A = this chain, B = another copy of it.
């Protein structure tokens, strides 16, 4: 499972990698995480055995989930090509989805553009267990979320919710959005 993985070096590498991804200095990250520079310096040097709270605050400050800091990076190289011509999948006149990028069976992530018109809401039944839907509203107003827990969203708003329970989309005005479907 995670047998021979000494998390010491992994954490050191992950910290430096993620920090450079965000593009901030060591001192700045320490400030945001509420830590001493020295602590972070030693961590990135591979020395030390940080406490959970310390690592957690770094994860929050970097905006990455905790697991990314402790688990070794996946080294396998897999190329997934962008979808060619967008295809249209429509089942109701008020709802249209355009498939932008379809992941392979090994890396399942699909990217859609949704176009919705007010009127008949779309009720989606549960998908495969473990799937997650990510929605960013580009224009208009949309009521979305798991059945019974819908939330109203406007341009720029983001919502993520489990796709393996019944859920729901309704446009309050002509709208469109970007949807990332994540399958377990």
Given contacts A66-B70, A67-B104, A105-B73, contact A158 B2 (CB under 8 A): no
Complex contact B71–A66 (CB within 8 A):
yes
Among residues 84 to 126 in chain A, which have CB atoms less than 8 Å away from a CB atom of chain B? 85-86, 88-89, 91, 99-102, 104-109, 111, 113
Smallest CB–CB gap between A157 and chain B, Å? 5
Q: Which residues of B contact A22 (CB under 8 A)?
A: 88-89
Docked Cα-Cα span, A60 to B136, in Å, equals 27
Among residues 145 to 161 in chain A, which have CB atoms less than 8 Å away from a CB atom of chain B? 145-146, 149, 151, 153-161
Docked Cα-Cα span, A80 to B159, in Å, equals 6
Complex contact B108–A74 (CB within 8 A):
yes
Q: Is A72 an interface residue (CB 8 A)?
A: yes
Q: Which residues of B contact A78 (CB under 8 A)?
A: 130, 159-161, 184
Complex contact B77–A67 (CB within 8 A):
no
Docked Cα-Cα span, A21 to B88, in Å, equals 9
Residue tally, chain A, CB below 8 Å to B = 83
Complex contact B2–A77 (CB within 8 A):
no
Residue from the list B53, B79, B151 in contact with A158, Cβ < 8 A: B79
Q: Is A68 an interface residue (CB 8 A)?
A: yes
Complex contact A66–B113 (CB within 8 A):
no
Q: Which residues of B contact A8 (CB under 8 A)?
A: 52-53
Q: Which residues of B contact A145 (CB under 8 A)?
A: 77
